[in-house]
Amino acid sequence: MSEDKTTERNAGKQVHSERKAKQTYTKRNEDFMFRLTKELNENDKLSEEKKEEALQDTKLRLLEGQLKGETAKQIYGTPTDRVKEIIEGPKKTPVETKYWMKALDNGMVFLMIFALMFGIMMIFQPKSVTSEPGPAGITAMLAISIIGGACAPFLTDRLQPTSKKKERQSIWKTIGMATGMILVWMVAYMLFSSLPQSLNPILPFEAYLVLAAVLFVVRMWFKRRYHVTGGFM
C-alpha cells in the first residue's frame, strides 16, 4: 500500500515537472537562460552533467517563479551570479553571534592585551610593576577583563552600521549607554586595582606571556568554531 502511495507521489511530481517544461518563458527569462547557458558553456570548472543538471533546475525554478510573478533577476540576480552559485553552492545563512559569545570573545581580548602588556613591562621595568601590583595582579586582570567583556557587546552592537538596535535607539540614548558602560568599567578597574597583593598576586613575566599566547590560540579557535563576528579585534 505504501509503495503505491510513493509511486503516486513520484508520478505527481513528474507530471508537475512536465507541465512546467511545457510552459513558455517570458522574454526576460528567455534572455536570462540564453546568457546563463552561454556562460556555463564557457566555464571549464563544471562537468557537462553538472551544467545540464543546473540548467534544468534553473529552468524549473524560473517557470515556477513566473506563476508567482517573479523574474529571473529577483530569483537569481544576474546570470553571472547564478553561475557563481552553481560553482560555490548556495549562500550559507549567517550564524547569529549570541551575547555570551561576544562577551567571552571580548573578555579574552582584554585579558590577552593586559597579559602581553604587563608581561613585557615586567621584562624591561620590573620594579614599576612589582612595587605596586594594581591592574597587573592576576585577580584584577581577570575581573577587569570579565567586566569589560560583558559591557563591550552593548557598545559594539550599537556602534556597528548594520546594527538593528542602533536603528531603534536614539543617538543620545546610545551615548548615555556608552558613557554608563565606560564608567562601570572604570570603577571596576579602580576597585580591583586597589586590592592588596595577598589577594591580587603578580605572576612571573613568563606566565603572562604564555597566558597571552594561549589566549590568542584559544580565541582563534573559538571564533572559527562558533563563527563569532564583530568585537574589538
Contact at 8 Å (CB) between 181 and 154?
yes
CA 182, CA 191: separation in Å to the nearest integer? 14
| Residue pLDDT tens, the chain, 233 long | 444 444 444 444 444 444 444 557 788 888 898 998 988 888 887 888 888 998 898 888 888 888 888 888 888 889 888 888 888 876 666 667 889 999 999 999 999 999 999 999 999 988 888 877 789 999 999 999 999 999 988 877 766 654 444 445 677 877 888 888 889 999 999 999 999 988 999 999 999 999 999 999 999 999 999 888 766 66
Radius of gyration for the chain, computed over Cα atoms and rounded to the nearest angstrom: 29
Residue 2, classified by CB atoms within 10 Å of its CB into exposed (0-12), middle (13-18) or buried (19+), is exposed
List b or e across 150-163, with b for residues whose CB sees 16 or more CB atoms inside 10 angstroms: bbbbbbebbeeeee
Closest CA to 140 of 102, 113, 114: 114
Q: What is the pTM of this model?
A: 0.60
